Structure 1
Amino acid sequence: MAITSANQLELLQTAEAVAREKMIDPGLVVEAMEESLARAAKSRYGAEMDIRVSIDRRTGKATFTRVRTVVEDELLENYQAEFTVEQAKQYMENPEVGDVFVEEVPPVEMGRIAAQSAKQVILQKVREAERDRQYEEFKDRAGSIINGSVKREEFGNVIVDLGGAEAVLRRNDKIGRESYRSGDRVRAYIKEVRREPRGHQIFLSRTAPEFMAELFKMEVPEIYDGIIDIKAVARDPGSRAKIAVISHDGSIDPVGACVGMRGSRVQAVVNELQGEKIDIIPWNEDQPTFLVNALQPAEVSKVVLDEEAGKIEVVVPDEQLSLAIGRRGQNVRLASQLTALDIDIMTEAEESERRQKEFEERTKLFMDTLDLDEFFAQLLVSEGFTNLEEVAYVEVDELLVIDGVDEGTANELQARARDYIDAQNKAALDAARELGVQDSLVAFEGLTPQMIEALAKDGVLNLEDFATCADWELAGGWTSVNGERVKDDGVLEPFGISLEEAQDMVMTARIVLGWVDPEELQAEEDGEEGASEEAEA
């Protein structure tokens, strides 16, 4: 097949037709044709030749040219596409290194294989251009809701036609057991738009919490206008959800605005989410207050917040326990997601029993370690003393407020407590040394003898071993396994070491060993702070 005058114009007509169908620039299709013709020409004239094809955008005429570049003598490698200054004098006047000589060559006859190869090149280029167009069109629409029609379903994943582009609604992004037929209308949240060499680039979701937030933004004008903010969303897709809202206008009730007249606004969202029940909760900066709201409809008697551990204990009346937990733990799970806290729920009876048990344990501790009678030990516990360290190192005046305790008794109590602590420390260090712990770890500031013993039992015997530990190995943490949070126990977690403290200790050990330059570390931290401030600005 030769490129003759009879089919020159047909090239442009084909390019325009393909461009219209795929909604891409006709110039990209013409460029693909030029590349495919150039490849065919190289197979005819030789792969080492630099053959280029130019198609006139008005007439469709294809011009085949051979390009040769002037190079220095010692750099001449490809004799078909390069030549020296001396060789170039036969074709050019006063040639210099870098000059290009272009000469037209006859068009090629394309056989069946060459034509098929050219077709594949064109199709590949068109597909790439189409994917680029889709990416550019939808990259800024990630995080918004879009409507489309179902094209087909493949292995539980739904292919959605968005009009000029295809998206995929994966099986785990569908609500419950949703099923679709070809032609069904579907509304979904654009979860992600990314470049991929093959396959889909636009990923949709109907289970994302952001989908619910965007639906409320569409139904509630006050949210769209910014008068009401959605602070947090937690969902059990298709079953139940909780959404926390706050109003910046004191005259507008955020919950009432989201519910709407006779529930019209929230009902529209519920219908879109296949009947998912929605609890609309007022946001509060005070975490315990917010948690009480989040656990509705259950009533809460008492809340104890541990900010360092990110945990919270909730006490509810005995008859409210099942309501607070919810069916299969749904209510407390959603409240935990909404507040980003680990929630422990107990009844008033359980809390009373636990407090009594703690009182008895602390009383026995003081009786056994300080050689006190039960009454005196109970007095210490009642005054808020929880461990020996508090008794040993507290100001004497704080012991004198206890009935029956004079200065001599207070000094005796502290002496007994310190003697016991010293004995315990010595026993812990002796046990650690028997396990092979080295002086470099013993001398490291911040580790108690009990911590050193725990590290030795875990195989950490010197400062080098300690410096290679990860912060979560020391302080503990959480990992996600099959969608469930799993606790990782830390070696020093029983001693109340936080993740930040573990990070500081490990980094200090690395500085002591000379693995890290403190000046470089400070420079990196200053740079990160500066970048963060610039981003905020």
Structure 2
Amino acid sequence: MAITSANQLELLQTAEAVAREKMIDPSLVVEAMEESLARAAKSRYGAEMDIRVSIDRKTGKATFTRVRTVVEEEELENYQAEFTVEQARQYMENPAVGDTFVEEVPPVELGRIAAQSAKQVILQKVREAERDRQFEEFQDRAGTIINGTVKREEYGNVIVDVGRGEAILRRNEKIGRESYRPGDRIRCYIKDVRREARGPQIFLSRTAPEFMAELFKMEVPEIYDGIIEIKAVARDPGSRAKIGVVSYDGSIDPVGACVGMRGSRVQAVVNELQGEKIDIIPWNEDMPTFLVNALQPAEVSKVVLDEDAERIEVVVPDEQLSLAIGRRGQNVRLASQLTGLDIDIMTEEEESARRQKEFEERTRLFMAALDLDEFFAQLLVSEGFSNLEEVAYVELDELLVIDGVDEDTAGELQARARDVLEEQARKALERARELGAEDSLIGFEGLTPQMAEVLAEDGVKTLEDFATCADWELAGGWTTVDGQRVKDDGLLEKFDVSLEEAQNMVMTARILLGWVDPEELAAAEAAEAEGDDVAEEGQE
């Protein structure tokens, strides 16, 4: 087959027909034809030649050209596609390295094998273009709901026809024991779209929390309009869910709007989710208040939030414990997911026993350390004193409010407490030195003798050792392992050293050792602060 004037227009007609069928740009098909013809020409003229083909987009005429590039003499490798400046002078005026010389060559005759090869190149390019179009289309739709038709089920995974492609609903993304037959209509959430060698892979989900949020957006106009916002969703797919909503219009009740007239709106979502029970909860910026709402229908007596540990302690009446926990821990688990906090639930009786134990431990501490009788030690604990430091260094007036305590008694109490603390510091210092702690560490500002002792026991004996510590190694912290938050104990955690204080101490040690330039550090912190300000302005 030769590219002659008789079939030049057929190239363009074929390209347009293929483009219409595959819904891709006709120019992509023409480019594929150009590449396939160039490959055929190379097999005719030689694989080392740089043969290019250009098809006129109006007439369909195919022009075959040979391209040669001017290179340095020592870089000349391919004599068919490159030549030196000296050789180029035969064809060009004033050639320079990097210039190209283009000359037209006669069209090639396409034999049966060459024509088949050209066809394969065109089909491959068309498939790639079709895959790119499909990927771009569905990538833009990721995070939305799509309606499709079930084509088949493979090993529990459902293959769904979504119009211009196929998507997969994996078995772990189905609700409960859902089963589908070919031809069934199905509504899913596009969870992820990935570009893979075999084409774009579209992954669907019906268990994702975002699926429920998108369903509510479809059913509740106020959510779609932005008057009501879904702040958090937690699901036990097919069984129960909790959703936190907030209204930006004081005249609109977010819970009532989501429930709808006689529950019509929420019921539409429930039906789509196979009867999943949904608790709609008013969002509150105050996390303890939001948690109390999230644990409904259980009543909460007391909430204690530990922001550093991202944990919250909830006290409920004895008869409300099972209701707060829920069947198989479902209620507390969903509340934890909704708030992003680990929740410890205890009864009023358990909390009372724990507080009584703490009261007794502090009473014994004051009795032993300050040589007090039990009644007087209990008075101190009752007034909120929990350790010797508070007694030793508190303002005198705070001790005088205790019944039976005058200025002399208060002064004696503080003197005893300071004597005990000084003795403890002396023993800790001796122990730290025995363990090999150097003066550079012992004298470091911010470290007490007791801290130096604990560090030395762990092998941190010099300022260099201390400077290599991570802040969480000193202050402690939390790590998420397999979805569970695990406590990391810090060396100085029992001394109430915060993460920020640990960071400052470690950085100060590095500056003293010359590891860090304070000017560079200040410049980096200023740049980071400026970046944060810019980010905040962008959000506004």
**TM-score (norm: length of structure 1):** 0.90
8 Å CA contact retained: 2:131, 2:199: no
Partner in structure 2 of residue 451 of structure 1: 451
CA distance in 2, matches of 1:14, 1:440: 83
CA deviations 1:222-254 (Å, max 9, x no partner) are 222222222222222222111111223333222
Output the CA distance in 2 between the equivalents of 1:204 and 1:432.
61
- Alpha-carbon distance between aligned partners in 1 of 2:442 and 2:152, rounded to the nearest angstrom: 66
Aligned residue in 2 for 1:364: 364
Output the amino acid matched with 1:160.
V
Query: Counterparts of 1:57 and 1:116 in 2: how far apart (Å)?
Result: 23
- For 1:6 and 1:52, the matched residues in 2 are separated by 22
Q: Which residue of the partner structure matches residue 35 of structure 1?
A: 35
SS at match of 1:200: strand
Equivalent AA in structure 2 for residue 285 of structure 1: E
Residue in 1 that maps onto 2:348: 348
Instruction: Return 214-223 or 521-530, whichever deviates more.
Output: 521-530
Deviation at 1:376, TM superposition (A): 0.9
The 2-side partners of 1:167 and 1:473 are apart by 47
Q: Secondary structure at the match of 1:245?
A: strand
Q: 1:220 — aligned with what?
A: 220
Residue 178 of structure 1 is matched in structure 2 by 178
Which residue does the alignment assign to 1:313? 313
Please state how far the C-alpha of 1:156 moved relative to its aligned partner. 4.3
CA–CA distance in structure 2, aligned partners of residues 135 and 517 of structure 1 = 49
Compute the displacement of 1:66 (Å).
0.5
**1:327-346, aligned counterparts within 5 Å?**
327-346=327-346
Question: Residue 400 of structure 1 aligns to which amino acid in structure 2?
Answer: L
State the match for 1:252 in structure 2.
252
Say if 1:64 and 1:104, in contact at 8 Å, map to a contact too.
Answer: yes
Native 8 Å contact 1:24 1:133 kept in 2: yes
Amino acid aligned to 1:326: G
Instruction: Compute the displacement of 1:73 (Å).
Output: 4.7
SS state at 2:103 partner: strand
Q: How far apart in 2 are the matches of 1:518 and 1:427? A: 36
> Which residue number in structure 1 is paired with residue 277 of structure 2?
277
CA positional deviation for 1:208 = 2.2
SS in 2 for 1:497: coil
- Are 2:424 and 1:424 equivalent residues in the alignment? yes
* Residue 287 (structure 1) shift: 2.4
User: Using the alignment, how far apart are the partners of 2:117 and 2:446 within structure 1?
Assistant: 70
In structure 2, the CA distance between the partners of 1:9 and 1:439, relative to structure 1 (3 Å rule), is farther
Number of the residue aligned with 2:232: 232
Provide the secondary structure at the position in 2 that maps to 1:485: strand
Supply the AA of the counterpart residue of 2:307: E
Pairwise CA distance, 1:409? 2.1
- Correspondence for 2:387: 387
Q: What does residue range 117-516 of structure 1 map to in structure 2 within 5 Å? A: 118-119=118-119, 121-196=121-196, 199-516=199-516
When structure 1 is superposed on structure 2, of 212-221 and 446-455 the one drifting more is: 446-455
Structure 1 residue 107: deviation in Å? 3.7
Deviation for aligned residue 1:318: 0.4
Q: Name the amino acid aligned to 1:91.
A: Y
Matched-pair contact (CA < 8 Å) for 1:167–1:200: no
1:198–1:429 distance in 2 versus 1, CA, 3 Å: farther
Deviations along 1:452-495, one digit per CA (max 9) or x if unpaired, are 33333444333333333333333333334443333333333333
Q: What is the Cα deviation at residue 123 of structure 1? A: 4.2
- 1:82 and 1:147, CA in 2 relative to 1: closer, same or farther beyond 3 A? same
C-alpha distance in structure 2 between counterparts of 1:499 and 1:60, whole Å: 71
Q: Distance in 2 between matches of 1:46 and 1:425?
A: 89
Q: Deviations over 1:36-80 (max 9, x none)?
A: 332343344333321111223344443321111334555544322
Per the alignment, in what secondary structure is the counterpart of residue 242 of structure 2?
A: strand
Q: Displacement of 1:126 after TM fit?
A: 3.0
SS of corresponding position for 2:200: coil
Kept in 1, the 8 Å contact 2:147–2:185? The answer is yes
Shift in Å at residue 272 of structure 1? 1.4
Superposed displacement of residue 502, structure 1: 3.4
Q: CA deviation at 1:261?
A: 1.5
Change (3 A) 1:507 1:193: farther
Change (3 A) 1:192 1:303: same
Shift of 1:10: 4.7
Gaps of 5+ in 1: none
Rounded Cα–Cα distance in structure 1 between residues aligned with 2:154 and 2:466? 51
Shifted more, 258-267 versus 399-408: the winner is 399-408
Cα distance in 1 for partners of 2:513, 2:161 equals: 60
Q: Distance in 2 between matches of 1:482 and 1:307?
A: 22
Counterpart Cα distance in 1 of 2:195 and 2:513: 44
1:87 aligns with 2:82: no
Scaled by the length of structure 2, the TM-score of the pair is 0.90
Task: State the Cα deviation string for residues 279-323 of structure 1 (Å, max 9, x = none).
Answer: 011122332222211110001112223334333221111000010
> Which secondary structure does the structure 2 equivalent of 1:343 belong to?
strand
What do the CA deviations read for 1:173-226 (whole angstroms, capped 9, x no partner)? Answer: 333333334433222223334555555354333222222112111111122222
Report the equivalent of 1:533.
Answer: 533
Residue aligning to 2:48? 48
Q: How much does 1:278 deviate?
A: 0.7
1:280 counterpart SS class = strand
Cα gap change, 1:459 to 1:34, in 2 (>3 Å): farther
Q: Which amino acid aligns with 1:343?
A: I
SS in structure 1 of the partner of residue 369 of structure 2:
helix
Name the CA shift for 1:331/1:364 in 2 (closer, same or farther; >3 Å).
Answer: same
Q: Is the 8 A contact 1:22 1:164 kept in 2?
A: no
CA shift in 2, pair 1:397/1:93, >3 Å = closer
Could you tell me how far 1:114 is from its partner in structure 2?
5.4
Alpha-carbon distance between aligned partners in 1 of 2:156 and 2:443, rounded to the nearest angstrom: 60
Are the structure 2 counterparts of residues 501 and 42 from structure 1 closer, same or farther at C-alpha, using a change threshold of 3 Å?
farther
Instruction: Return closer, same or farther for 1:480/1:96 CA change in 2, 3 Å cut-off.
Output: closer
Name which of structure 1's ranges 10-19 and 45-54 shifts more when overlaid on structure 2.
Answer: 10-19
- Name the stretch that deviates more: 470-479 or 286-295: 470-479
1:406-442 residue CA offsets vs partner (Å, 9 max, x unmatched): 2222222222212222232333344444444443333
In structure 2, the CA distance between the partners of 1:177 and 1:513, relative to structure 1 (3 Å rule), is farther
Q: CA deviation at 1:157?
A: 4.0
> Does the C-alpha gap of structure 1 residues 88 and 304 become closer, same or farther in structure 2, counting only changes over 3 Å?
closer
State the AA in 2 paired with 1:225.
D
Task: Pick closer, same or farther for the CA change 1:351–1:276 going to 2, 3 Å.
Answer: same
CA distance in 1, matches of 2:168, 2:340: 30
Task: Judge conservation of contact 1:23–1:164 (CA < 8 Å) in 2.
Answer: no
Cα offset, 1:399, TM superposition: 1.3
Give the match's secondary structure for 2:47: coil
What is the alpha-carbon distance in structure 2 between the residues aligned to residue 181 and residue 515 of structure 1? 67
Return closer, same or farther for 1:223/1:103 CA change in 2, 3 Å cut-off: same
Q: 1:526 to 1:323 in 2, by over 3 A?
A: same
Q: Distance in 1 between matches of 2:487 and 2:118?
A: 58
Distance in 2, matches of 1:337 and 1:478, equals 17
% identical aligned pairs? 85
Q: Give the drift of 1:4.
A: 5.6
